[in-house]
Amino acid sequence: MTNTEAKLRKPRQRLDPSDEVLIGRLAEGDQSAFNEIFDRYHRQIYNFIAKQVNDRESCEDLTQEVFMRVYKSASNFDTSKKFTSWLYKIALNEVKRHWKRTGARQTYSLNTPLSNEAGEAERADFIEDAREVPEDSTESELFSRNLRQLIDQLPDKQRTVVLLKVYQELTFEEIAEICECPLSTVLSRMRYAVDKLRRWLGVEDGQAEYGL
Amino acid sequence: MDCKKIQKQIFRFIYGESDEYELRAIKAHLEICNACEAEQKIIEEILVQIKSGVPDDPVPDGFKERVLSQVQALAEQDS
């Protein structure tokens, strides 16, 4: 593993028993299997949801709902699939249902151009926004806050790929399974998303104007 | 592989997910193409910054207990 790879993803540990064995046990009524699954994944799922839903109470409710669904649907799990793909698919659907219910998610137009005045205006807004933070914010808090906003502004499908890849450290194959699309589509979404973030952050030819 | 193909596969390469054939082809190309090599480094830097720039949110206190008690209630309801 290269240094960069090490910064981007932690090495995966082989879990024993495997997730698939645990979900099989849960389907047979073994409550302790649920506890083990919950221990393994509740932090990741909470964080996956928290990067998409802003209020804490909803994050908690949605994460709880994901695990309740796991509990109730264990017997429906397709053992030919990977458990994590199934789990994240449930989480993704819960978030989508939440947006539908609350109307909270403001979708960003897939057609929003980045190379014209509109794109420049967004970047200007971003930089302007960065100036309107409490005086006691540190530089890293400021960067974090604005980066979250930028990621939030990505089109849904691109944002999902970035969240699953960068923060959840899933493989592109797993993400393709979760998003139910070809691997090439996942890679294209990743490319578009990173190109947008790069532009918004002002990174060109190795030079960063802001924060990098 | 030409530059266009390299750029399509660059994310898999960066994350160590290329298959053996891709890995060899990409490495060979990066040795002779300064533009692709520079692009790879920029993308890597952006990805590192994106990852480290947004820390994980802590799970609220008592969350585990709340969920497990809900599941317990559900299990009792079912039995």
Domain CATH for A101: 1.10.1740.10
Contact at CB, A212 and B56, closer than 8 angstroms: no
> A112 lies in a domain?
yes
A47, A61, A200, A209: best mutation site toward chain B, by most B Cβ within 10 Å?
A47
> A15 lies in a domain?
yes
| B36 has pLDDT over 50 | yes
Is A185 an 8 Å CB contact of chain B?
no
Is B41 an 8 Å CB contact of chain A?
yes
| A103 has pLDDT over 90 | no
Report B:1-30 residues touching A (Cβ under 8 A): 7-9, 11-12, 14-17
> A164 lies in a domain?
yes
What's this model's pTM, rounded to 2 decimal places? 0.84
* A13-32 per-residue burial string, b: 16 or more CB within 10 A, e: under 16: eeeeeebbebbbbbeeeeee
| B68 has pLDDT over 50 | yes
| A14 has pLDDT over 90 | no
| pLDDT of the residue at A134 | 57
The two tokens of residue A157 are: 């499908």
Q: For residue A211, what pLDDT band results from cuts at 50, 70 and 90? A: very low
Q: How far is B23 from chain A (nearest CA, A)?
A: 13
> A106 lies in a domain?
yes
Domain count, chain A: 1
**Domain extent for A54:** 3-201
> A204 - beta bridge partners?
A207
Report A:132-151 residues touching B (Cβ under 8 A): 140, 143-144, 147-148, 151
> A210 lies in a domain?
no
**Count of A-B CB contacts under 8 Å:** 125
pLDDT tens readout for residues A50-76: 999 988 899 999 999 999 999 999 999
Is A56 an 8 Å CB contact of chain B?
yes
| B58 has pLDDT over 80 | yes
> A207 lies in a domain?
no
A102-110: list long-range contacts, CB under 8 Å, 24+ apart.
A102/A58, A104/A53, A104/A54, A105/A52, A105/A156, A107/A155, A107/A156, A108/A153, A108/A154, A108/A155, A108/A156, A109/A155, A110/A155
Contact at CB, A63 and B63, closer than 8 angstroms: yes
Residues of A in contact with B11 (CB under 8 A): 165, 172, 187, 190-191, 194
pLDDT tens readout for residues A24-39: 999 998 999 999 999 9
